[in-house]
Structure 1
């Protein structure tokens, strides 16, 4: 079968490899679409900086390069391993791709998304979505309902990142929010906030293309912080109170620091993005306003279920911000995303 396999830094090859066979408790999936995300870019351009030691087998999965990429993907079940119940051949599915140790402090709290030795199917495992087929434990499969197609299904994983952040924020319907950065995760936060009944959502994004993309899905309070007074807009839209929650989906230190000053008393900032550089923050501002800052990572299975239901309820669209390429176009898509020339790219696994 054809697959996109990572061999080393900036060495991603389209190769013919052997089709996988499902073991006990596993299903075989004919992959349909697989998204390229920031984690894939970090892994491709700077694997060591991404936190994965590509020179040693992963302690949970035993995998090491060459590695089939693709951890946000959808497909159709074509074969069942022994002992599989609750999944049938022909089911259209997405995969919760996390492997966890089950014994660290995080796992002991049920926080499998921050397992100290976490692995992801299609990043640090055997197999992935950027291939014609993959095998996966059936316990990780989420069946898509009628009305959620495979193209939309491939967006469940990144949208679950955003959903998890919104859930962790504790924001309530009727409160106000700000999103820093209108990339795919920023758009996902906007969808999740609207699904949670949050109507006043101010988006800060300097890129013309990204502002147009989030406006295209319905955002109407979008600010270019390089040309407009973001603080004045926040004050105007919140009646001078500030926002209840600010979501950092950009990973830019000064933007986060600026957002912290726009929090309402008792407000909270949620860092969803990975910051490549340190940034200075003045702790006194938390004291004076009793505000706070915390981070979120990835998702839990229930976040997948919630996003799938919201998609079935028509809360999401892929129009205007998602494009597609074939497996042969993966490397070019990586370069385009790195340079900011693409928004969200799905790879067709055909």
Structure 2
């Protein structure tokens, strides 16, 4: 079968790979679409910084390089392994791709998304979604309803990242929010907020192209560089400040401006990965009894919630989702690294 196989930094090859067969408790999928995300870019350009080890097997999965990529993907069940009864051949599914140890402090608290030795199918496993086929434990598949197609199914994973961040914020319907960053996760946060009845939302994004993309979906936007962000927040909230803010940009100024935009008792949720340290004055937290929280990945219930919201029509892919064939993966990675486009889905089959 054809697959996008990562060998080393900036060495991703479209090549033949063995077609897998499901073991006990597993299903074989004919992959449909796989998204390229920021993690894939980190892996491609700086695999060591992304946590890939060239010398030692992954402590949970036992996998080593080379690695088939694609951890946000959808597919159709084509074969069942021994003992699988909860899904059937022909089911269209999204895959919760996390592998966890089950014994670390996070796992003992049920926080499998924060496992100290976490692995992902399509990043540190025996296969991935950027191939014609893959096998996964049946417990990891989430069946898509009839009105959620496989293209949308490949977006469940990144939208679940955003959904989990909204859950971490504690915001309720009727609340107010600021979203810093209008990339795929920022768009997902805005869509997730809207799905939960939070409609007074301001999106802060310095890129004119990204502002235009999310504005076309109906978002209220502001340029934090050339416009007055504080005035825009005041206008949205009658001067109170927002209940919650989200850093989906991964930049220090996004966090500091989010903190300054909070109402008393508000919360900033950091969902982006930062490559550089930042400074802020903790007195900001003290004086308003505000707080900063992190949000990492997702739980299985986040997948279920996103799929349900998709089924209800809460997600719109107009203008921000593009597609390429498997042969176009490397060019797509280069484009995204250069700031072009938002979400690119790879047609795996």
Under TM normalisation by the shorter chain, which class is it?
Answer: over 0.9
SS in 1 for 2:257: helix
For 2:63, the equivalent position in structure 1 comes to 63
SS in 2 for 1:29: strand
Give the distance between the partners of 1:74 and 1:282, measured in 2 at CA.
Answer: 43
Once the 2 structures are TM-superposed, how far is the Cα of residue 212 of structure 1 from its aligned partner?
1.2
Q: How does 1:138-149 map to 2 (within 5 A)?
A: 138-149=138-149
SS in 2 for 1:201: strand
Is 2:147 the partner of 1:164? no
Give the distance between the partners of 1:285 and 1:190, measured in 2 at CA.
Answer: 25
SS in 1 for 2:125: coil
For 2:34, the equivalent position in structure 1 comes to 34
For 2:197, the equivalent position in structure 1 comes to 197
Give the distance between the partners of 1:278 and 1:177, measured in 2 at CA.
Answer: 25
SS in 2 for 1:50: coil
For 2:103, the equivalent position in structure 1 comes to 103
Tell me if structure 1 keeps the 8 A contact 2:35–2:346. Answer: yes
Give the distance between the partners of 1:202 and 1:166, measured in 2 at CA.
Answer: 15
Is 2:275 the partner of 1:276? yes
Q: Deviations over 1:142-171 (max 9, x none)?
A: 000010000000000000000000011110
Give the distance between the partners of 1:258 and 1:187, measured in 2 at CA.
Answer: 19
For 1:231, the equivalent position in structure 2 comes to 230
Give the distance between the partners of 2:225 and 2:312, measured in 1 at CA.
Answer: 36
SS in 1 for 2:93: strand
Is 2:319 the partner of 1:320? yes
SS in 1 for 2:7: strand
Tell me if structure 1 keeps the 8 A contact 2:168–2:293. Answer: no
SS in 1 for 2:77: strand
For 1:126, the equivalent position in structure 2 comes to 126
Count of residues in correspondence between the two structures: 349
SS in 1 for 2:305: helix
Give the distance between the partners of 1:258 and 1:166, measured in 2 at CA.
Answer: 19
For 2:242, the equivalent position in structure 1 comes to 243
Once the 2 structures are TM-superposed, how far is the Cα of residue 65 of structure 1 from its aligned partner?
0.9
Q: Deviations over 1:271-305 (max 9, x none)?
A: 00000000001100100000000101000000000
For 1:332, the equivalent position in structure 2 comes to 331
Cα RMSD after superposing both structures: 0.6
Is 2:223 the partner of 1:209? no
Once the 2 structures are TM-superposed, how far is the Cα of residue 54 of structure 1 from its aligned partner?
2.9
Give the distance between the partners of 1:255 and 1:107, measured in 2 at CA.
Answer: 31
Give the distance between the partners of 1:245 and 1:254, measured in 2 at CA.
Answer: 16
TM-score between the two structures when normalised by the length of structure 1: 0.99
Runs (4 or more) in structure 1 with deviation over 4 Å come to none
For 2:51, the equivalent position in structure 1 comes to 51
For 2:4, the equivalent position in structure 1 comes to 4
Give the distance between the partners of 2:254 and 2:326, measured in 1 at CA.
Answer: 35
Tell me if structure 1 keeps the 8 A contact 2:269–2:294. Answer: yes
Q: Deviations over 1:99-138 (max 9, x none)?
A: 0000001000100000000000000001000000000000
